[in-house]
């Protein structure tokens, strides 16, 4: 196999990985802090994509327009996160996990159909911002600039996310909430506000990744349930609630998917599911997670 071909596969895997990381990080954050698995995270991602497309229709398709659209979409989804958490989710914290799971599943159903109703079933697409429209030659291959942008953006967000969580006052509070919610409350912190904030931020990240995916993938109904399973796998591989676990989980997922095609043509999907099952069998808490 030609090295340039392998390089291409590698870069492809990395792009997938960084997208997944953007999505899965929010999912992992909510699980880590609130112990809730949010099926609707994929729906937030899908809404981000549709909203970005919508804003692009209203503004000039320039680079500035694209960034504006992405930001608006992310903020809009974040706001939706606040509403959902305050109106519904709160009353479910004390309930059994099954009910929390089903609530987020109800959101999947409702948001999915709402998107279908508003934007129809046709594939929609957004073109990359002009600045990032071209491609560059690397190791005898053509790599789209937009992919490179995502490959750089992923680690950047990982780094700033880590920084925010570990080096800021707010991050400290979030980590404290994760360790002992009741104690933090008794020290005077309004943990409910922290929960709302986390849920909204997680929705914001999902919305942002949805907006950013639009130049390379078309927007279709069903993109929500497809992505959520992948994001689960990433989070489970890395260890639920572990920040770096999610990052490396994404990288492993991307590469297994990318090279799995070469080894088992047609079975790349199978290879990632099998990978997840094997990891869970050997280390049920994931690569970077903590024993139960």
Q: What is the DSSP string of 229-283?
A: HHHHHHHHHH-TT-HHHHHHHHHHHHHHHHHHHHHSTT-HHHHHHHHHHHHHHH-
* Three-class secondary structure of residue 57 per DSSP: helix
What do you get for the CA distance between the two ends of the chain, in Å?
Answer: 43
Distances (CA, A) of 92 to 85, 103, 146: 10, 9, 41
Per CB under 8 A, does 191 bind another protein? yes
User: Site for another protein (CB under 8 A): which residue of 225, 259, 261, 287?
Assistant: 225
User: Taking CB under 8 A as the rule, does residue 270 contact another protein?
Assistant: yes
Minimum distance of another protein from residue 163's CB (angstroms)? 14
What is the 8-class DSSP label of residue 131? G
Residue range at the interface with another protein (CB under 8 A); choices 49-57, 75-83, 128-136, 185-193? 185-193
Is 229 one of the binding residues for another protein (CB under 8 A)? yes
x/- mask, another protein, residues 14-53, rule CB under 8 A, reads ---------------------x-x----------------
Near another protein by CB under 8 A, which window of 11-19, 153-161, 199-207, 264-272? Answer: 264-272
What's the Cα-to-Cα distance from 9 to each of 143, 154, 211, 276, rounded to whole Å?
Answer: 11, 18, 24, 21
Only one of the segments 147-155, 201-209, 212-220, 279-287 lies at the binding site for another protein (rule: CB under 8 A); that segment is: 279-287
Q: What's the token pair of residue 214?
A: 């639009």
Q: In the stretch 82-121, what mask flags binding to another protein with x, by CB under 8 A?
A: ------x--xx----xxx-xxx-xxxxxx-xxx-xx----
Residue 58 or 267: the one with the smaller Cβ distance to another protein is 267
Closer CB to another protein, 1 or 188, in the complex: 188
Binding mask 120-139 for another protein (x = CB under 8 A): --------------------
Task: Give me the least distance between CB of 195 and another protein, in Å please.
Answer: 13
Question: CA-to-CA distance for 292 and 276, rounded, in angstroms?
Answer: 17
Q: Is residue 244 classed as helix, strand or coil in its secondary structure?
A: helix
**In angstroms, what is the minimal distance from the CB of 39 to another protein?**
8
Residue 95 Ramachandran class (φ > 0 left, ψ -120 to 50 alpha, else beta): beta
The residue from 118, 133, 136, 187 that contacts another protein (CB under 8 A) is 187
User: Encoding tokens for residue 130?
Assistant: 């002009």
4-25: burial string, b at 16+ Cβ within 10 Å, e else: eeeebbebbbbbbbbbbbbbbb
Can you read off the two tokens belonging to residue 228?
Answer: 């959520």
DSSP state of 143: E
Cβ-based nearer residue to another protein, 156 or 186: 186
User: Cα dihedral sign for 27, 113, 70, 154?
Assistant: positive
Residues that bind another protein in the complex, under the rule CB under 8 A: 35, 37, 88, 91-92, 97-99, 101-103, 105-110, 112-114, 116-117, 169, 172-173, 175-176, 179-180, 182-191, 225, 229, 232-233, 236, 240, 266-267, 269-270, 273-274, 276-277, 280-281, 284-285, 292
């Amino acid at each position: 196999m030609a090295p340039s071909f392998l390089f291409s596969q590698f870069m492809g895997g990395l792009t997938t990985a960084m997208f997944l990381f953007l999505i899965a990080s929010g999912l992992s954050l909510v699980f880590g802090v609130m112990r809730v698995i949010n099926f609707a995270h994929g729906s937030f991602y899908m809404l981000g994509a549709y909203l970005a497309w919508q804003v692009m229709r209203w503004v000039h398709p320039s680079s500035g327009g694209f960034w504006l659209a992405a930001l608006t979409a992310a903020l809009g989804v974040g706001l939706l996160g606040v509403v959902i958490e305050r109106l519904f989710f709160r009353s479910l914290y004390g309930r059994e996990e099954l009910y929390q799971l089903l609530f987020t599943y109800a959101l999947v159903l409702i948001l999915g159909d709402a998107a279908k109703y508003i934007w129809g079933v046709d594939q929609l697409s957004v073109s990359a911002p002009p600045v990032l429209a071209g491609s560059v030659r690397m190791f005898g291959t053509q790599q789209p600039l937009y992919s490179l942008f995502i490959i750089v953006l992923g680690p950047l967000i990982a780094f700033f996310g880590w920084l925010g969580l570990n080096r800021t006052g707010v991050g400290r509070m979030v980590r404290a909430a994760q360790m002992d919610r009741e104690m933090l409350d008794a020290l005077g912190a309004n943990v409910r506000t922290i929960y709302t904030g986390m849920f909204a931020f997680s929705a914001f990240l999902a919305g942002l990744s949805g907006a950013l995916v639009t130049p390379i993938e078309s927007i279709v109904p069903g993109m929500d349930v497809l992505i959520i399973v992948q994001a689960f796998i990433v989070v489970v591989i890395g260890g639920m609630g572990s920040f770096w676990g999610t990052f490396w989980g994404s990288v492993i997922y991307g590469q297994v998917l990318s090279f799995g095609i070469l080894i088992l043509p047609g079975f790349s999907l199978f290879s990632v599911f099998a990978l997840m099952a094997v990891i869970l069998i050997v280390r049920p808490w994931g690569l970077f997670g903590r024993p139960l």
